[in-house]
Structure 1
Amino acid sequence: MDTEAVRSFVRAAELGQFQYAADELGVTQQAVSKRIAALERELEVRLFTRTARGVELTPGGQAFLPHARGIVAGVEHAMGAVRPDARLLRIDVLGFRSAQAVVLHDYWRSNPGIQLDVVALKAGDPGTAVAAVRAGEVDASFRAVTDPAALPRDVEMARVLDVPLELLVGPGHPLAAARTVTPEQLRPHRIRIAGLAPRSEWADFYDQLATAFGLRIDGEGPNFGIEPLLDTLAESGDVATLVGARDRLAWPAGHDLRRIPIVDPVLAYPHALLMPRANPHPRLRPIIDYFRSLAGAPRTAWVPSWATSRR
């Protein structure tokens, strides 16, 4: 089995488009398509179906994905055993527009020689990320385990950066003209948060936030992604959402959306990194130091109970 074809399959599955996978792997889209077509012939199963937004896994592709990740991880570990200095560093992020990915990209641009692979595990349960770290499928994961008892002794969780939240609204929202807003001002307004997966760290975060400040957090309904939510904000006079100050978002100019800082107090999302307690990847420490060197939220900011003030 061609391991580069397996790697191409994994990246296409994680990114949702052959072109994105090609860009990450440094090859053409045609090369990715040929690799995956050859893999499908070898497996005698169709792995993807095409959609308007890219590609989606078939049931066969879904069944093959965890094994494919294991194959890629195994090859990388084998190469690392004979060339420890060249072992690829694989890090899981919540999403490719998240503050984690944005800062990680800035770090990579400053250190272009680093062999870095950034992935986004499609799971809300932090236990999945913990299992991936323990199995060596990823070297680290930007996730948080909110229950200390659920964190295995062989996995370390390091809090690396607190990112202030901002209110994101359309031009018709009552708070659209505000320079800043307070949590108290947010109480009368509906705050739509898409994708509040049960047991996820962000579901716990917003539960605590709603309780602490009496906010109306709306997480009902299916999660269609950020683009439909941005469309809703542009058209609505009452729906708002919360985003991280470092999240990378883009929308059509006609949407006229506004990002408004939240103050008195600042609300901060604490980003943490899961990694093996013993023998972590040697290139992880400079990344942690880089994150911690950045200006984050003030120490007076509100954070959930599972985040401590110590770094």
Structure 2
Amino acid sequence: MNFEAVRAFVAVAEDGQFQIAADQLGISQQAVSKRIAALESFLGTKLFERVASGAVLTADGVRFLPRAKAVLVAVKHAVESVRRESRPLRVDVLSRRLASAEILREFHLGHQAISIEILTTSGVDATIRGLLDGDIDAGFCYLREPIDRTDPQLAQSFAYFEPVQIVVSDRHPLAGHAAVRPDELTPFTAWVPGIVTGTEWAGFYEEFARAFRIDIDSTGPNFGFESLLDTIADSPALLTFVGEKTRGSWPEHQRLTRIPLARPKPLYPWSLIWHAGNQHPGLGELVRHVRRSFAPVAVREEVWLPDLVAPTRR
């Protein structure tokens, strides 16, 4: 089976048009058509139906596409494993102010010989696509199901169970508390405009809110973290959530207070995920660092984790 024909097939499948695929591959449309025809002849089946708007996959084409993509990624990893020149380890952290970026920074401090490229995608679905396409080497995220159920080529390791905290103004009734129980939040509104419907963190907060009957308002507009802090600082009733390792500017004039939640302590379960076939020399070091650094929940510690994570606690 011709590798370039497989590449042409994936390009057409993703773009839906032979001409766009040809432009991306730097060849003529006729060359793309010949490669697809040769591949269909080799496989003994049609992969595309030609339509007015371009091309759509047949049932066999739909079945072949994920395997064809896996071939391209495997070849990419094989080439990179023997090339003398190195490229940065590409790691998705979701946002540079989150715990994921802090974990990666701690790794960098102990492995400065490994060049790192920090990426920020839109969530776990985009991270998984990047891993399967070979565009990302590893990513930090919260998984709502084991990664091998999504794709057996991917691997996972828990990275950090991050304690959730609240932020309130110094005029809030909870200000001054050393710690607050989640059920004490029931009378108040938590404003979290950064929640995006369908994302893994939206699922986390939905489950957390149900468990403790917390009113979480995710309506926008979301003008960013600093604007959120300004709003909380001006309110005697609103609160918001942050992770223990969330980084940000906390101007003294805002008079904000971060308060830990306890009894139980809610934990946001960060995982590191990667493609099992990836041979980047820095990836193994990152995986080993994450596994060494991960602190499981103590046996008698009173914590809250999402239902799918809680049974493991390790």
TM-score under structure 2 length normalisation: 0.68
Partner of 1:303 in structure 2? 305
CA distance 1:186–1:288, change in 2 (3 Å) = farther
Specify the alignment match of 1:136 in structure 2.
134
* Corresponding letter in the other structure for 1:137: D
The aligned counterpart of 1:265 is 264
Cα distance, 1:220–1:302 mapped onto 2, change above 3 Å: same
Do residues 113 (structure 1) and 116 (structure 2) align?
A: no
Q: Which moved more, 1:137-146 or 1:234-243?
A: 137-146
Task: Identify if the C-alpha distance between structure 1 residues 182 and 240 changes in structure 2 by more than 3 Å, giving closer, same or farther.
Answer: same
8 Å CA contact retained: 1:93, 1:118: yes
Q: 1:273-292: per-residue Cα shift (whole Å, max 9, x none)? A: 22112335332333233334
The equivalent of 1:180 in structure 2 is 179
Counterpart CA distance in 2 for 1:286 and 1:242 is 32
Residues 212-244 of structure 1 show CA distances to partners (whole Å, capped at 9, x for unaligned) of 111111111222210110101111101111111
- 2:88 partner letter: L
Q: How much identity, in percent, do the aligned residues show?
A: 33
For 1:245 and 1:183, the matched residues in 2 are separated by 15
Residue equivalent to 1:64: none
2:213 maps to what in 1? 214
Asked if 2 retains the 8 angstrom alpha-carbon contact of 1:91 and 1:140, the reply is: yes
Letter in 1 for 2:164: L
Q: Matched residues in 1 for 2:84 and 2:205: separation?
A: 41
Query: Secondary structure of 2:132's partner?
Result: helix
2:258 alignment partner AA: R
Per-residue CA distance 1:36-94 (angstroms, 9 max, x = gap): xxxxxxxxxxxxxxxxxxxxxxxxxxxxxxxxxxxxx9xx9798355368332100012
Separation of aligned partners in 2, 1:79 and 1:223: 43
> After TM superposition, where is structure 1 displaced by more than 6 Å over at least 4 residues in a row?
76-79
Alignment of 1:281-292 (within 5 A): 281-292=280-291
CA contact (8 A) 1:140 1:276 kept: yes
> Which letter does structure 2 place at the counterpart of 1:214?
R
Say whether the 8 Å CA contact 1:267–1:302 is kept in structure 2.
yes
Aligned-pair CA distance for 1:132: 0.6
Deviates more, 1:230-239 or 1:283-292: 283-292
The more displaced of 140-149 and 201-210 is 140-149
- Matched residue, 2:103: 103
Cα offset for 1:246? Answer: 1.1
SS in 1 for 2:265: coil
When residues 214 and 261 of structure 1 are mapped into structure 2, their CA distance, relative to the original with a 3 A threshold, is: same
Alignment of 1:224-235 (within 5 A): 224-235=223-234
- Provide the C-alpha distance between the structure 2 equivalents of 1:297 and 1:242, rounded to a whole number of angstroms: 22
Pairwise CA RMSD? 2.4
Q: Tell me how far apart the structure 2 counterparts of residues 84 and 215 of structure 1 sit (CA, whole Å).
A: 54
Please tell me the residue identity of whatever aligns with 1:136.
Answer: G
1:160·1:288 contact (CA, 8 Å) conserved in 2? Answer: no
TM superposition shift of 1:190 = 0.9
SS of the aligned residue for 1:306 comes to coil
Q: What one-letter code is carried by the residue in structure 2 that aligns with 1:128?
A: A
User: How many pairs were matched up?
Assistant: 235
SS in 2 for 1:118: strand
* In 2, Cα distance between equivalents of 1:169 and 1:181: 12
Q: Which amino acid aligns with 1:144?
A: Y
AA matched with 1:309: T
Structure 1 regions of 5+ residues with no counterpart? 1-72
Contact 1:234 1:256 in 2 (8 A): yes
